[in-house]
């Protein structure tokens, strides 16, 4: 009986040792690292996101804000990202403005969902593998938009 238990434990240990470990570690929050060209991963359509400095002069605190723009499944879009503390991961995304091109209903539905999720982002993470994770909470749904730096 003891031998059977040891064999079972050995088999269990071996099955877990083959699991792939996530080496995509989170780097400390630094809002300056957000800038650049990003591509949304695992999306039904190609989506780009450009994050850059350069707010309008009328902004209250232009040093704590970024301009976001990109291309979604059908339209071009733009919005803003602001933060209170550059060493904290809490952010706010403003309302999304977009062009009004016509497109397939499925692509337009995807785009509307993407825009709504983007506006609902409250936190970010940057990883050692040039990944940007934007965490959103919308209605009763929590999720993450994952981008890779181009």
Q: Residue 12: is its pLDDT beyond 70? A: no
Residue 149 or residue 10, greater confidence: 149
Q: Where in 84-120 does DSSP place strands (E)?
A: 91-93, 97-98
pLDDT tens-place string over residues 73-89:
999 999 999 988 878 89
pLDDT recorded at residue 61: 59
Q: Taking residues 6-12, report their average pLDDT.
A: 38
Please list, residue by residue across 130-145, b when 16 or more beta carbons sit within 10 angstroms of its beta carbon and e when fewer do. Answer: ebbbbbbeeeeeeeeb
* Alpha-carbon span 124 to 30, nearest angstrom: 10
Q: Taking residues 24-37, report their average pLDDT.
A: 86
pLDDT tens-place string over residues 119-141:
999 999 999 889 999 999 998 89
Residue 54 confidence class, pLDDT cut points 50, 70, 90: low
Q: Residue 36 has which token pair?
A: 């650049």
Residue 108 or residue 128, greater confidence: 108
Long-range CB contacts (within 8 A, 24+) of 11-17 = none
Is this structure's pTM higher than 0.75?
Answer: yes
Residues 6+ positions from 147 with CB-CB distance below 8 Å: 38, 39, 40, 41, 49, 131, 132, 133, 134
Question: Topology of 27-149 in CATH?
Answer: Lipocalin (2.40.128)
pLDDT recorded at residue 56: 55
């Amino acid at each position: 009986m003891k031998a059977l238990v040891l064999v079972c434990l050995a088999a269990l240990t071996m099955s877990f040792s083959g699991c792939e470990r996530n080496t995509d570690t989170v780097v400390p929050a630094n809002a300056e690292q957000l800038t650049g060209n990003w591509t949304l991963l695992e999306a039904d359509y190609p989506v780009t996101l450009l994050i850059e400095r350069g707010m309008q002069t009328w902004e209250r605190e232009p040093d704590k804000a970024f301009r976001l723009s990109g291309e979604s499944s059908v339209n071009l879009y733009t919005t803003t990202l602001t933060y209170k503390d550059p060493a904290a991961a809490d952010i706010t995304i403003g309302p999304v403005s977009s062009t009004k091109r016509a497109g397939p209903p499925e692509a337009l539905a995807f785009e509307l969902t993407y825009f709504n999720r983007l506006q609902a982002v409250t936190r970010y993470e940057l990883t050692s593998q040039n990944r940007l994770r934007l965490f959103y909470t919308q209605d009763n749904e929590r999720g993450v938009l994952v981008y890779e730096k181009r």
